[in-house]
Structure 1
Amino acid sequence: MFAQRLQGRTPAYFNVTTDSPWRVQDFKDLFSTLMVSLPLTPHRVRFSRIEHTFTTEEAITNLGSLKFSQSNRMPDPKDPSRIVTTTTTTTFSMAKEMARSVCGRFLEARFVESVDGKTDFTSKSSVWQLTPKGMHVLARFCQRNGIHQRHVNEVLDSPRNMMQLVILERDADTDKLVDDAPTVHVVFRRFAGDTGPNLKTTGSSDSDDTNEYATGLVGVKMQRSRRNDREAPYTFTGKAAFDWLLDCCTVVDKREVFELTNLFVQHELIVPASEDHRAPSNGPRFAASKHVLYGITQKGMRIAGWITSPNGSVNGEATTQQRIPAGVVRDSNTNRMTVIIRDPALRLLFREYLRETHCEENLSFYVEVKAFLSEYERAKRDSVSPRLDVIRETLASAYSLYNAFLAPGSPCELNIDHNLRNALAGRMTRAVGEDEQMLKSLDEVAVLFDQAQSSVFKLMASDSVPKFSREPKYAAVLRDRNLEGMLTNFAAASI
């Protein structure tokens, strides 16, 4: 799917500005495509031989003429017992200075890091390596696109690839971070550490913290308040918070980090703890400085799960058991799945659970088919007679989805109904045709994908949702999110 999107982009699309039109997924896919194109060989730095590295010159040269090859495996229409592999290569050109700027964006996003102390891509001999975050992004790309190249596998098999990245939810239309209170609370729980504060050892500094964040499973590095502040007994520096969010979340620039940290302040999860730094009266403004301290508030500790709310309350506010109207079946797993899929905070948690149980591809498929069907509806209603190039591109997206999730031997092959799988294989291996026949083919494909999406939804509802709902790790968050109340409201509204 990235190959089709890349073909339609001009170099200006990747301009490095705050109002750049590029989407985060394109940015991550461009990075991963570059990494796949690089040899990632050992380089010598100060008498040491560093594995899986690349130079500035290699990166800028490859970005200047980037090639992306994608192989699609399909049963032969004339002989279904044979598998036919078709390889499509897309080439994308970029000026040298633009390539240098894009590499700078990869550095800012913490996808790569210098191994020789450089802070930019001005020196062509500088040596770089992927960060654990960059490896995670690359691993997801390779799984999604069925890439199994030896030099890439060696990088992903290295002991440095152990990051459990927080996959932040984004608005489908604007691509901006979802910033409602429940989603902010879920992210904050990971940031603070859901097993308790990650206390500094004596003598450690913020510069030691980044290696400790390599797994993404511990919270930001903290220390006990020097003033024995009961309201905010644990503190951390602005720099430590900045580093944790960039290293452990799918934020891609400083602007998104400040957006999250200011939301933490706004929702009273953290407060300035330095005597010389207080939030301005015109709103929260976070300082990413090692000289500025912030403390976790009592509310923040409740949200993190460190302390329980008084009187059996949710987030400190008294609650009562909601009365279930007559005739309402609240506990339907289908209802639970619907509530989860519509709520960004619950969806974020559910994705984490699916990743832990090796079923994340189910949710990924559901979300991607939803985007495809929206694209399909938009292509059909754009004009009385839809443009063939738009129809062709939408159909190409469907084939990309099929080869990633549904084709025999696909990298993320899903478990769906046998008859539906055969119907999909039959449709996807038939000739597409031209002109009006192409639109008819797209209509048929859309119907089958809608059925496949429903099948995967039911699978998640029956298999994953009950286990997710009972998982002790998420019990407190689900209780704080008031899932039971949401179920009651949804079920009552559905009568």
Structure 2
Amino acid sequence: MPDPKDPSRIVTTTTTTTFSMAKDMARSICQRFLEARFIESADGKYQQVYTMKGSVWQLTPKGISILDRFCSRNGIQQKQVAELIGNSLPQLVSLERDGQSDKLLTDRGTIEVIFRRFVGSNGPNVKPTVSAADSDSLSDYRDGLTGVKMAAERKVGGKTVKDSFTGKAATDWLMDCSTTVDRRETIEIASLFIEYDLMEAVQLDRTHMTQYPGHHIFQPTKFAIYQVTPKGRDLVNGSLARGRQSESEGVSASQARGIARDSNTQRLDKILNDAALRLLFRENLRETHCEENLSFYIDVDEFVRQCKQATRAALKNPGNASSLDGIKEIMAQAYGIYNAFLAPGSPCELNIDHQLRNNLATRMTKAVGQDVTMIETLREVTSLFEDAQNAVFKLMASDSVPKFLRSPKYEQTLKNYDFDAIIVGGHPQQQARIPERSQSRSNR
């Protein structure tokens, strides 16, 4: 951070944290890594149980991708990590999660986005034989773009079924090619594929259903057989086009921040308020090396929400120890956001106005002071964060949104969203504008 006495001089503080844990805890964590498909057996054989002796483990492509994101966010630049990551990372489906509960967002639009990737970005992954389709090879989905393994023909109940896949293959794909961390999440997603009539059961695994009554819609086993429905094929082929309404409720992001609404600010409002569009937009931002803009925008939204809650609690019960602890926790969160996105040389440094960056540095390098002044400090920090958030919103609207909408990769999916219909009167203004602070505050 800048030296408070000399802002031109950077002072770096390093904290070293050492962890220790019991062997049973370490084994349990490694088992979770295995279940989340972050690690796999180095001998190429599929294993479900982590063993401590007689086995060698390695990171999966998914694990390497997760590591890459963690290192990028935290500014970790180690030679061995760079060598491990290399140049080719799988294109995982980065699922959206609820900020408070961490549960997956499973609105219909998001499920349809996942399903398109599930069937295959470059066409169905049809294997010539059933044995090839049902193999436990660890290298089937290394790129994240190859669709779920399907058998060209399979005998089921005396009939020949084309392009079918097992419940196990479906859960394997969802574990390997998306940011799911638990097989229960894959069962939830696959069940929604069925509920939305995108795939259907050819053969149920009734034995599994007896053992797990909650799995009556989808069974994640080799004995449950599924295939894509005509509606699912239409969705993948792009013939199932329909206008989709944004899930936005209440005031839009641009209105809340007093930003003039032109065509692209309205489009960005729609993207930010629709989980499926937000998922694709984040993917596009990652490809164009500016994902940090969306991450910062969302982090500040969550910070402001928690800050308001903590401040209300502290003002309601002044002097209460737990309320003051809540304020301190929010202040620590503010420093986390600052060090990740706003500090000079931060790992995800944002492109913001020089004066605003200096104002942030000056405020963040001041001593926090006594507990009684913390609330006022938080208000000042929140105000500066919101200024930075406004700047990032404007940048995404003017630069990233047009690139996203022009990308051939998302053309098929974006047909389902009538972006032109959201332009009021068909005569958008030419440029978004951030108004003066007084106007922004009154609108908010």
Pairwise TM-score range, normalised by the shorter structure: 0.7 to 0.9
Q: Does 1:206 align with 2:134?
A: yes
Note if 1:336 corresponds to 2:267: yes
Distance in 1 (CA, whole Å) between partners of 2:207 and 2:23 is 44
Cα distance change of structure 1 residues 486 and 245 upon mapping to structure 2, 3 Å threshold: farther
Quick check: 1:216 aligned with 2:216? no
8 Å CA contact retained: 2:271, 2:277 = yes
Which of 345, 350, 358 is the aligned partner of 1:414? 350
Inter-partner Cα distance in structure 2 for 1:370 and 1:419: 22
The residue identity in structure 1 corresponding to 2:194 is V
SS in 1 for 2:295: helix
Asked if 1:369 corresponds to 2:312, the answer is no
How far did 1:435 drift? 1.9
- Select between 347-356 and 375-384 the one with higher mean Cα deviation: 375-384
1:450 is matched with 386
Structure 1 stretch displaced more, 261-270 or 368-377: 368-377
Instruction: Give the aligned partner of residue 398 of structure 2.
Output: 462
Alpha-carbon offset, residue 473 of structure 1: 2.2
- 1:200 shift after superposition: 1.8
Which residue does 2:233 correspond to in 1? Answer: 301
Q: Per-residue displacement from partner, 1:57-82 (whole Å, max 9, x unpaired)?
A: xxxxxxxxxxxxxxxxx111122222
User: Which of 335, 359, 373 lines up with 2:290 in the alignment?
Assistant: 359
Secondary structure of the structure 2 residue equivalent to 1:416: coil
**Match for 2:16 among 89, 105, 111?**
89
Match of 1:196 among 123, 135, 148: 123
Segment of structure 1 superposing worse, 337-346 or 122-131: 122-131
Structure 1 residue 239 corresponds to structure 2 residue 184: no
Residue 169 of structure 1: SS of its match in structure 2? coil
Deviations 1:214-244 (CA, angstroms, capped at 9, x unpaired): 110121122334579xxx8532222211111
- Letter matched to residue 361 of structure 1: E
The equivalent of 2:101 in structure 1 is 174
From the superposition, tell whether residues 446 and 282 of structure 1 become closer, same or farther in structure 2 (CA, over 3 Å).
closer
Which runs of no fewer than 5 residues in structure 2 stay unpaired?
245-259, 428-442
The residue number in structure 2 matching 1:49 is none
SS in structure 1 of the partner of residue 335 of structure 2: helix
Aligned equivalent of 1:263, options 180, 192, 215: 192
Structure 2 counterpart of 1:473, from 409, 418, 426: 409
Q: Does the alignment pair 1:249 with 2:249?
A: no
- Number of the residue aligned with 2:324: 388
Count of equivalent residues:
397
The one-character-per-residue Cα deviations of 1:29-78 (angstroms, maximum 9, x if unpaired) are xxxxxxxxxxxxxxxxxxxxxxxxxxxxxxxxxxxxxxxxxxxxx11112
SS at match of 1:80: strand
* 1:290 corresponds to: 222
1:266 positional shift: 0.9
Q: Distance in 2 between matches of 1:330 and 1:130?
A: 46
Does structure 2 retain, via aligned residues, the 8 Å contact 1:269–1:296?
yes
Instruction: Tell me if the contact between 2:368 and 2:374 (Cα under 8 Å) persists in the aligned partners.
Output: yes
CA contact (8 A) 2:267 2:401 kept: yes
Aligned to 1:155: 84
Distance change >3 Å, CA 239–CA 127, structure 1 → 2? same
Code of the aligned partner of 1:290? K
Deviates more, 1:336-345 or 1:199-208: 199-208
Partner of 2:4: 77
**Where do 5+ consecutive residues of structure 1 fail to align?**
1-73, 317-328
- Quick one: percent identity of the two aligned structures? 54
> Match of 1:270, as an amino acid?
M
TM-score computed with the length of structure 2 as normaliser: 0.81
Superposed CA RMSD: 3.0
What's 1:164 paired with?
91
- Tell me: CA distance 1:486–1:271, structure 2 relative to 1, closer, same or farther (3 Å): farther
